[in-house]
Amino acid sequence: MIGNSIIKLNNVDIFQQAHLVLSNVNLHIDKGDFVWLIGQTGSGKSSLLKVIYGDLGIKGGTGHACGYELSKLPGRDIPYLRRKLGIVFQDFQLLTDRTIEQNLNFVMRATGWTDKKLIAEKALDVLEKVGLRSKLKKMPHELSGGEQQRVVIARALLNDPEIILADEPTGNLDPETSEEIVLLLKQISQSGTAVLVATHDYHIIRAFPSRIIKCENGKVLEDVAI
């Protein structure tokens, strides 16, 4: 890691196939930052997130994420980078045929956990953090949308990530539940895990003012006002 920076991009060009999506990107996110990522559909928000979690390579410039150099990231290291990232999507992507506990256990086993006692303790720990300890044995369909998204955030916390990337995490939720989810993400950032939230929801941004990054006209603008 460079100083306190979890994410640092310098003069980076981002392509989707041969199409230049974002050019000369400069971006820094430090430990414990809470950052909004805004921009119209097709402006490059998802491409920027994909670069951070190693799904898109970079051309030109330098990029670092969670201690990994993105311009020289071998494929075998991508899973290790992703263990340092928590990713939260709009559609919850929970395994519908398994309990909440089994969903969490599945991820831990897939990322190298083997000790059953530690797995059980960690599942309870992350559910405690999102206020759902009592839902351990429930199936996803028995939970509300807001509760399911809390489980997704708990899942993102399993490997003690340095940053959580949340792509439209409130897109399927009503306004009141959306505020509860953002409040939870804010609390997580205050405990030292950086949080980057891509959203179209300007109401929620105004309700929780914080640093804003904007994708617009092929550029990434840091620290903009709305």
In tens, the pLDDT along 50-73 reads 999 999 988 889 999 999 999 888
Question: What mean pLDDT comes out for the span 83-111?
Answer: 92
Angle formed at CA 161 by CA 91 and CA 168, multiple of 5 degrees: 25
Q: Which range marks the domain in which residue 117 is found?
A: 5-222
CB 66 within 8 A of CB 163: yes
- Look at residue 171 in the predicted model and tell me its pLDDT: 87
Give the integer Cα–Cα distance in Å for 168 and 222.
Answer: 19
Spatial neighbors of 148 by CB under 8 A, at least 6 apart, are: 92, 94, 140
Q: Pick from 72, 53, 76: which is nearest to 6 by CA? A: 53
CB 83 within 8 A of CB 159: yes
Task: Identify the band that residue 34 occupies on the pLDDT scale cut at 50, 70 and 90.
Answer: very high
pLDDT higher at 19 or 59: 19
CATH number at residue 97: 3.40.50.300
Spatial neighbors of 213 by CB under 8 A, at least 6 apart, are: 27, 35, 36, 37, 38, 196, 220, 221, 222, 223, 224
CB 195 within 8 A of CB 115: no
Mean pLDDT over each residue of the chain, to the nearest integer: 93
Q: Is the pLDDT of residue 1 over 50?
A: no
Task: Identify the band that residue 145 occupies on the pLDDT scale cut at 50, 70 and 90.
Answer: very high
- Look at residue 13 in the predicted model and tell me its pLDDT: 94
DSSP-assigned letter for residue 136: T
Domain count, the chain: 1
Half-sphere exposure of residue 204: CA atoms within 13 angstroms, side-chain side: 26
Q: Is the pLDDT of residue 3 over 80?
A: no
The pTM assigned to this predicted structure is 0.92
